[in-house]
Amino acid sequence: MDASSTTAIVAYQGVSADEAEIFRFVLSQLPDFRTVTVGTALGQVAGPGGVQVVDATLGQVNAPAVVAVPGGVGSDRQPEIAAWLRRVSPRWLLASSTGSALLAAAGLLDDATAATHWLAGPLLEHYGAHPSHERLIVDGRIITCSGGPTAFRAALIVARAYGGAELVAHIGATAVAAREKRARPQHRSLWARLGGAVRGHEPSPPEAGSLEHALDELDPLDLGAITPLPDHRADQR
């Protein structure tokens, strides 16, 4: 499969595993696309929420069609990734939460307005960008969002570009099915069930920002709000 059919999810030490998983959940469903996790070196990188496994180095992915940059700790202090972001020219570039600070550090948001984590506004300003109070901003090929459920919505915009409303509906149905499956007691992990029994209550709700939380927060009826966006599939021909 050629690089033009590759989705690259960026990973680095400190990356938010939850935001990476949100992007992966949606973008891995793009038709005829290969999804890779890209970083400075092969292997594991740890961050809030867990571990990501880098399966392609920056030098191995030279022309991805879609790049997704999750937020994380120290996101703006990734000079090798910043140089790679300047070098590649994806059709779509997504950043969630403090991931937009990495885009700004790479010089890709000069004098642009972008969504970010509410604490990362000064970082964007430091690199010449303008933080917005909006939770999701589409600026041409660049989509920035505040994180959590908005990362899901940002990725759905890209899904619509490649698969139209049908793919968006399919991913929405997949999300609803995953949410319902997780809600059934028989599908909870044995450890969670035992832990709830020991504590005398049900397992805690998913943490804010996690994929499970994003699925809980996503209203299937709101998926219709994605469909009026321009269909960019003609741009891919």
CATH number for the domain spanning 196: value is 3.40.50.880
Confidence grade of residue 207 (pLDDT, cut at 50, 70, 90): low
- What are the strands of the beta sheet with 66-69, ordered from one edge? 56-57, 34-39, 6-10, 66-69, 92-96, 142-145, 136-139
Average pLDDT, the chain: 82
Q: What is the pLDDT of residues 110-140, one digit of tens each?
A: 999 999 999 899 999 999 999 999 999 999 9
Task: Say yes or no to pLDDT of 192 above 80.
Answer: no
Confidence grade of residue 172 (pLDDT, cut at 50, 70, 90): confident
Q: What is the pLDDT of residues 213-223, one digit of tens each?
A: 666 665 543 44
Token pair listed for 53: 């496994």
Number of structural domains found in the chain:
1
As a whole-number percent, the residues of the chain with pLDDT over 70 amount to: 75
Q: Tell me the pTM.
A: 0.80
Domain of residue 204 covers: 1-237
24-33 as b/e, with b when 16 or more CB fall inside 10 Å?
Answer: bbbbebbeeb
Task: Say yes or no to pLDDT of 180 above 50.
Answer: yes
